[in-house]
Structure 1
């Protein structure tokens, strides 16, 4: 047992926590990162589940990591990170025997030409969409990933587009994914390319704003691809650990309590009996329920906020199946042999049925899935002529039992066999990660939820994690939420950690004192 004093403590060495630590260390702060697990990384870790085959245990492809301002500002490539990309970003077969699945090629003209073969208008629409993206991507990503409200980024976006186009673009981003796909494209092929990406979130296809995720990931796929860290996702974490500089990362150091004195966070205590006092700030890279229900004293959380947290909604549980294959996947559509990610199991209408099953508690007979061909993207992942792969799908909300997870894993295999006859015979190793396995590996993945809470509109922006808390600041002075439970939510983009670190830095000095008073008044207004 020991007692130390530092400028800041970061609770959790997930990617958001490490990003926050790097930003504070860059500002000259004395920082300690306390991680409960034996190794850092949170949901950015890899391992050899089958000897000779590297598997990403949680997240895998990182378009947001390659494009987000927070991650780019850290220049991780200077700290050993090497990105790899498959020849094509992703594809989406529309039905089991689809021999001509649409894919997103590295070159925008090639993608547009391929889509023109389905419908000439769709090639033109793709070019127009990407040209718009190249004009607005900086202010748009700043708006989506920066602190809320995005005043400066919003103004920059409006100046770039002009008033009339800004209004049209705002409507476009508010569209349900299904409406966006049908308004933008004519063919089922082009529509599926957008809709499959929309399913990376957990918002139903017909929910307002669900198209925004589809648009962002589709354009980033065309822009930066779906890159992966060479050697496995743990290499991204390793680069972040090197990047934190003078910050100390302590693993096997589970934080059990935050002390609050006179309304300010003063210290943290670990399960091993250590105490770390803080001079300036605590940043929590943990889920909102863990922070407010477990780590803080009851009297430090306003009663209204505690009632709001009772309605906190997690995203749908995940089942992940990791495969070691002794040969490349025998896809019906040869176009899929060159992509890193495949969206399969449902077309336009099938996706609607799948999301309805998830919402109504029905175990899908034909699960829609994200499928990763990791060796295709990064040849270091398995021996030459083999494939390290995974499939990722969801259970209905609230269903987390192992029997249901095993059933879905079997159905995932059936769908893969339909799209790639002979797939099953190439399996030399298979490991299923059930919701119980995910939550046991990382307490922030509660019930197998991987996005820190639902991405639906009622728990985004100013409503994340509860109404009025759209910023990293909390009702406790000097305490900031810097996880995926904070705005802008899930995904490996580092924005949650960076926003929290910058908020902590802004509250220093004379001007910072003014900001603290204003922020405290606003928080009291919405939480008391």
Structure 2
């Protein structure tokens, strides 16, 4: 089909990037009756939420994200009713196991009695401590998730949380969330099992276990594992993208792949469209939303001439999260773990105890490649039997490395060797089962998805200094940008990385507010806020 020329392509909103956040935003705008046009640079939709047979034909793996505890619990994604468009969640027999260097393993089961029994073996009383935390989670879950995933400030969610918890307990909850995971484990548990579960889950977000706020991620993910498990989309993570696209098409939205955006068209301080790399233009009557990394949006697609001087200086200080080295293996049989708890777990952490995680955090902070890597691993066939032939396993794993490390193929090969040595030590005979392997170094990940800059999965560090009103730079904590009607809709915006749709939903709601009856008042308030934080625009 030929593409309209010049300025003949028009929509109420243009969305740049068909990652899950961009597609969430597009769906919410389409629900409001807007015409929506999504432009995706890659040939396949979904960004880091895609599937492919990388290691061997018939062994399906996920290119980026794989397990979705936040996705299945997210009020944003739940509200889209993606099951009506083909999405089906499936579970491994157990959500998560952490295998320690001495080959003991701590297990999270969706049955709290099973989890408690596993943790009790590590420390007397830890089973009961876990039950208490799990019961508290059940009380706080809905208002807490509403507050965490809402636009900043989360007025309604915070009010609900205050009503549910009460002031004394809310203060203690806030303290818990900002604690280092290492300290939280020491305060709450006696044994290594429960402590390492929380610390290991903090590492999902690339926050060191000694860093302030790491408990927020570690506690959240372990409680979600206990509550909703670590589900996966049946057939691969691309099924989540397919459902979002199908829902959008049903509402008249348009999605184009292989059409990279080159720049945001700005006229008189307002975003009015997108120019693609071939020079074609899609005009936007109401809004432009960008599901791309903040530095790419501002520096490459908007341009410094449209940004306040303070914001340009803040962007120079933007910090990426650490890079990722990812390996996929096609195995001719199931993993021969010596730790029984790992056999039925969808997600497995392996390679470190709590002290080892502290050392890895120190290595990454110092720019050193960890000699003993910590692996976050997915047994995808265990979670979803459709991922590979019966009796086999599609295995997926990643480990973090300094952002500028592994530039040389030999360095990549050596670190892959370290990863495989960890697995061979805890699953003797693993190497004999490998019938295919695919290595995605940081540059490969960025080629697959340009938003994964040097393999950074989170759209920028999730450390406390770049969260809330500091994400992506000190500002309003909102998706609104200094350019009117341009909204940051990706993981670089609050509430940050992981698959939950929060940034996309926030951007869509901001665009709707700007276009509403009180739009001029809204725009004036946003301009005043940016002027206060950033000073006057240079445009």
Is it true that 1:39 corresponds to 2:44 in the alignment? yes
Answer yes or no: is 1:328 the counterpart of 2:334.
yes
CA distance in 2, matches of 1:397, 1:306: 22
- 2:220 equivalent in structure 1: 216
Count of matched residue positions in the alignment of Structure 1 and Structure 2: 526
Among 121, 127, 135, the alignment partner of 2:139 is: 135
Shift of 1:326: 0.5
1:312 pairs with 2:318: yes
The separation in 2 between residues aligned to 1:51 and 1:30, in whole angstroms, is 39
Contact 1:354 1:364 in 2 (8 A): yes
Q: How does 1:143-222 map to 2 (within 5 A)?
A: 143-222=147-226
Equivalences for 1:237-252 in 2 at 5 Å? 237-244=241-248, 245-252=251-258
Match 1:8 to one of 13, 20, 26? 13
Instruction: Output the aligned Cα RMSD.
Output: 1.1
Q: Is the 8 A contact 1:342 1:371 kept in 2?
A: yes
**Deviation by residue 1:326-359 (Cα, 9 ceiling, x = unmatched):** 0111101111100000011000101101111111
C-alpha deviation, 1:400, in angstroms = 4.2
My pick for the range that moved more, 430-439 or 111-120, is 111-120
Correspondence list, 1:311-390, <5 A: 311-390=317-396
In the TM superposition, what whole-angstrom CA distance separates every residue of 1:211-243 from its partner, at most 9, and x where no partner exists?
A: 110010001001110000111111111011011
Q: Which deviates further from its counterpart, 402-411 or 477-486?
A: 402-411
After TM superposition, which residue ranges in structure 1, 4 or more long, deviate above 3 angstroms? Answer: none
After superposition, where does 1:44-123 map in structure 2 within 5 Å? 44-49=49-54, 50-95=56-101, 97-98=102-103, 100-123=104-127
Residue of structure 1 equivalent to 2:274: 268
Aligned counterpart, 2:503: 496
Contact 1:344 1:368 in 2 (8 A): yes
1:284 correspondence with 2:323 = no
Kindly state the Cα deviation for residue 469 of structure 1 after the two structures are TM-superposed: 3.8
Aligned counterparts of 2:280 and 2:416: Cα–Cα separation in 1: 42
Pairing 1:447–2:458 present: no
Counterpart-to-counterpart distance in 2, 1:497 and 1:148: 13
Q: Which runs of 5+ in 2 are unaligned?
A: none
Q: Which residue of 1 aligns with 2:473?
A: 466
Q: In structure 2, which of residues 215, 225, 229 is the aligned counterpart of residue 225 of structure 1?
A: 229
Q: Contact 1:405/1:435 (CA < 8 Å) preserved in 2?
A: no
Question: What's the offset of the Cα at 1:170?
Answer: 1.0
Could you report, residue by residue, the CA deviation over 1:101-147 in whole angstroms, capped at 9, with x for unpaired residues? Answer: 11111211221122223333111111110111111111111111110
C-alpha contact 2:124 2:191 (8 A) present in aligned 1? no
Is the 8 Å Cα contact of residues 77 and 501 (structure 2) preserved in structure 1? yes
Q: What whole-Å deviation, never above 9, does each CA across 1:262-309 have from its counterpart, x for those lacking one?
A: 111112111122111111000000000111001113321111101110
DSSP-derived class of the 1:120 partner: coil
5+ long unaligned stretches in structure 1: none
In the superposition, the TM-score normalised over structure 1's length comes to 0.98
Q: C-alpha deviations, 1:78-99, integer Å up to 9, x for none?
A: 110011100100000111x41x
- 2:239 aligned with 1:235: yes
For residues 297 and 170 of structure 1, what CA distance do their matches in structure 2 show?
38
Distance 1:462 1:456 in 2: 13
Matching of residue 525 in structure 1 with residue 529 in structure 2: no
- After superposition, what is the alpha-carbon deviation per residue over 1:375-432, rounded to whole angstroms, capped at 9, x for unaligned? 0000000011100001100112322414333221110000001111111111000110
Mapped to 1, the partners of 2:489 and 2:403 lie a distance apart of 25
SS of equivalent to 1:503? helix
Shift of 1:2: 4.1
Task: Work out whether 1:432 is the aligned partner of 2:432.
Answer: no
Partner residue of 1:254?
Answer: 260
SS in 2 for 1:268: strand
Residue 412 of structure 1: aligned partner: 419
**2:518 counterpart SS class:** helix
* Structure 2: distance between partners of 1:42 and 1:454: 19
How far the C-alpha of 1:365 sits from its partner, in A, is 1.3
Alpha-carbon distance between aligned partners in 2 of 1:455 and 1:173, rounded to the nearest angstrom = 13
Q: What is the Cα deviation at residue 194 of structure 1?
A: 1.0
